[in-house]
Amino acid sequence: MKWLRHTWRSEKQRFLIVGAWNTLFGYLVFVAVHLLFGQTWHPTATLLVAYCIALPQSFLAQRLLVFRRTADDWRAQFLRFLGSNSAIFAANLILLPAFTSVTDTSPLFGQALFILGSTVASYLVHKHYSFAG
């Protein structure tokens, strides 16, 4: 229990823990949407719908558990969060196919690299922009 209290004190560690949860939640939403509509929808449509469902949960978790900025206007924070996450999402949609075609590597490897880079970028942009006081 002492380890958990110590770990939870660090904003960066809270970000990683909450980010892991948000990733799992987003994937489970994607699976649910795919199971419901995957036979008739293009995978990109499934991805976009899952993203729109998972995003508010991610915002609340980041706002309340990681950055703890509850006194600030949540609407302005949400718009900044939406813009930041959407930019990272769009970069993923563009960079992954480009990277895999140029390097002739597996999309799984390319996505793993993108996740590493986007995790750092996401932390910085949310800390200094989305949830800036």
Kindly report, residue by residue over 10-26, the tens digit of the pLDDT: 999 999 999 999 999 99
**Interhelix angle for 43-61 vs 74-103, to 10°?**
140
User: Most distant CA pair in the chain: distance in Å?
Assistant: 50
d(CA 57, CA 21): 10
pLDDT digits (tens, 9 = 90+) for 32-50: 999 999 889 888 888 899 9
Q: What local confidence, expressed as pLDDT, does residue 9 receive?
A: 87
Question: Token pair of 63, please?
Answer: 């706002």
pTM of the shown model: 0.85
Confidence of residue 90 (pLDDT cuts 50, 70, 90): very high
Q: Which amino acid is at 6?
A: H
The whole-chain average pLDDT of the chain stands at: 91
Assign 105 to helix, strand or coil. Answer: coil
